[in-house]
Amino acid sequence: MLNTELPSEEHAALDQYPTADLVDTLIADQFNAVQAVRNATPSITAAIEAAAPRIAAGGRLIYVGAGTSGRLGVLDGVELYPTFSWPHERALSLLAGGKGAMFQAVEGAEDDRQQGGADLLELLPQANDVVLLLAASGTTPYVLGALDAANASGALTIGIANNAGAPVVAGAQIGITLDTGNEVISGSTRLKAGTAQKIVLNTISSAIMVRLHKVYGNLMVDMQPTNIKLVQRAVALTMHATGADEAAAREVLEQCGFHVKVAIVALLRKQPVAQAQALLARTDGSVRAALSAP
């Protein structure tokens, strides 16, 4: 059996635990997910270094998975727009069973290898695309079909699984093994296996966005202020980066559609918004480069 499927011998009487002990056991096991990701640091680093230039050259992030793994891919892609203003059409997700499987399990869909390949090909993958293929088992046919199609297209493939030697890891150009072992609730890979996948997806996509100059220092300066909370966050980030008071920060932000990086450059260089925008365009959107430009 796969390690992720093996029954755990450590908590054989889990159903008899007092609630406090049950909660403590479930939480404690999650720390193993963090360690599994740490152990995979070299392969995660290699994935980011290979992916970032392709994305910078116009490639797309494409997530592929089934069940929990697929839903985590959808989540990571969806959150890139409000956090980093990443275009929706450049963060695509394929979930076995289609969009409806996001809300209701379509378990049999993951067994269709041919459909995985067909769904991937419908996206017309290109050489600069980065395809992230997730499967806790590493053997999911739908994901393996997409892997074959992505490899044939010349796209960069990154296979992520929770079992050593998994086909999705071995068949990808870069493989990431998150060896989380068996689960407290045997076979329920929505637990620490899912947590490890969430961490690695957060790490890969966030690191790529940092490399694309969507972060200045450790501030997210390319966010979308799509609600009151995020408008307030844009003001706070601009104040923090520039030392401007709230009135000054808000005034400049209103002139540039609450684009934080433009406001920062305009305030620190004491330039009109239009000049700040032009300067950022010349420096590939890098606030740091714009501030040091002659």
Of 107 and 212, the one with more pLDDT: 212
Query: Per-residue pLDDT tens for 140-166?
Result: 999 999 999 999 999 999 999 999 999
Strand partners, 65: 95
Which residue of the set 5, 10, 110, 122 is catalytic?
Answer: 110
% of the chain beyond a pLDDT of 70: 100
Query: Mutual orientation of helices 113-122 and 141-153 as an angle, nearest 10°?
Result: 40
Phi, psi for residue 172 in degrees, rounded to 5: -85, 160
Task: Give yes or no: 89 in active site.
Answer: no
pLDDT of residue 161: 98
pLDDT of residue 6: 86
pTM score, whole prediction = 0.94
Q: Return d(Cα 185, Cα 68) in angstroms, integer.
A: 15
pLDDT of residue 8: 85
Length of the chain, please?
A: 294
Query: Per-residue pLDDT tens for 89-110?
Result: 999 999 999 999 999 888 789 9
DSSP assignment of 31-86 equals HHHHHHHHHTHHHHHHHHHHHHHHHHTT--EEEEESHHHHHHHHHHHHTHHHHH--
Query: Per-residue pLDDT tens for 190-204?
Result: 999 999 999 999 999
pLDDT of residue 107: 76
Closest CA to 104 of 96, 112, 114, 115: 96
Domains present along the chain, CATH in parentheses:
14-211 (3.40.50.10490), 215-292 (1.10.8.1080)
Task: Give yes or no: 122 in active site.
Answer: no
pLDDT of residue 176: 98
Which residue of the set 9, 79, 89, 254 is catalytic?
Answer: 79
Mean of pLDDT values over 212-235: 96
Q: Is the pLDDT of residue 1 over 80?
A: no
Query: Per-residue pLDDT tens for 238-291?
Result: 999 999 999 999 999 999 999 999 999 999 999 999 999 999 999 999 999 999
Strands (E), the chain: 61-65, 91-95, 130-135, 156-161, 174-177, 215-216, 219-220
Mean pLDDT of the residues in the chain: 96
